[in-house]
Amino acid sequence: MSDPRDPMRSAQANMRPSPARRFYESVEVREADGLHALFLDGRGALTPGKTKLASPNRALMERVAEEWARAGETLDPADMPMTRLVNSALDGVAGRMDATRAEIVRYAGSDLLCYRAEGPETLAKRQREAFDPVLDWAAELLGARFVLAAGVRHAAQPAEAIEAFRAAVEAFDDPAALAALSVVTTLTGSAVIALAVARGRLAADEAWRLAHLDEDFQIERWGEDEEAAARRAARWREMAAAAAALGATRPGRPRNC
């Protein structure tokens, strides 16, 4: 069982609860107490932790409402990743913002993009072509210059790079945005990829491709396992929802649109 105090786990909580029968007819987002809240049959919805299911960001809550509206006779949590993400943000991450930020920064210390294959050259070339532009972006935008490592040997990152990255993560003060950043970080194994998605440098599918570059190379050579493919498809739904949440909460985007 995962440690309930772990903020990264909190960001991904409620991902596999049991299905339940649909108990409502109407779904809408209303303004309530300065927030945009989900209402089911005219009553405010609550998170599993009994928090009002609401956000200052209307675009985010409209996406939550879409999941509730399209549900059939049974509510399948696997088809409601945005709702689970917002639940986790409100019930978990909101009370542990600093710890969640710190865990994301720790990922940057051993980021996927910094570990390169020693061979074959075909894979190494793909990594250079795919990973280097994102690291160059981080260096130019943030001043975070990461060092590379060959194989699985650990390479300590410069303190200046980590501090520059920490400053970028500190800017995330919305629990939903921070929860989404946490989810993308854990799903891809890369805090740099997650920040690139949050800043609009990478689309969700581009980020997903980078995160699975090595895996896809092996699939080309040896074929794909059906169970592994199913697990990957489930993770992609979580990734897509988190990326959408990052887009909805991106600085500069009006919260009420």
Look at the chain and report how many structural domains it folds into: 2
Find tokens 């570990």 and name the residue: 115
36-94 tens-digit pLDDT = 999 999 999 999 999 999 999 999 999 999 999 999 999 998 899 999 999 999 999 99
**Same domain, yes or no: 115 and 242:** yes
**Same domain, yes or no: 220 and 135:** yes
Residue 225 covered by a domain = yes
* Global confidence as pTM: 0.90
**Same domain, yes or no: 118 and 242:** yes
Ranges 18-22, 125-129, 245-249: which has the least confidence? 18-22
218-234 tens-digit pLDDT = 999 999 889 999 999 99
- Which domain covers residue 42, as residue numbers? 7-95
**Same domain, yes or no: 67 and 104:** no
Structure tokens at 184: 């993308």
Distance CA 89, CA 48 (A): 12
| Residue after which a domain boundary falls, among 48, 73, 95 | 95
DSSP assignment string, the chain: ---TT-HHHHHTTTSSPPPEE---S-EEEEEETTEEEEEETTEE-B-TTS-B-EES-HHHHHHHHHHHHH--SEE-GGG-HHHHHHHHHHHTGGG-HHHHHHHHHHHHTT-GGGEE-SS-HHHHHHHHHHHHHHHHHHHHHH---PPPEETT---PPPHHHHHHHHHHHHT---HHHHHHHHHHHHHHT-HHHHHHHHTTSS-HHHHHHHHTHHHHHHHHHH---HHHHHHHHHHHHHHHHHHHHHHHT-TTS-TT-
172-221 tens-digit pLDDT = 999 999 999 999 999 999 999 999 999 999 999 999 999 999 999 999 99
pLDDT for 165 beyond 70: yes
Angle made by CA atoms 243, 249, 253, in degrees to the nearest 5: 120
Mean pLDDT score of the chain: 91
Residue 180 covered by a domain = yes
Structure tokens at 220: 């080309």
Q: What is the CATH number of the domain that holds 14?
A: 3.30.2180.10
**Same domain, yes or no: 243 and 121:** yes
| Residue after which a domain boundary falls, among 95, 120, 147 | 95
150-162 tens-digit pLDDT = 877 788 899 999 9
**Same domain, yes or no: 83 and 107:** no
Residue 26 covered by a domain = yes
Q: What is the CATH number of the domain that holds 195?
A: 1.10.3580.10
| Residue after which a domain boundary falls, among 74, 95, 116 | 95
**Same domain, yes or no: 186 and 201:** yes
Residue 150 covered by a domain = yes
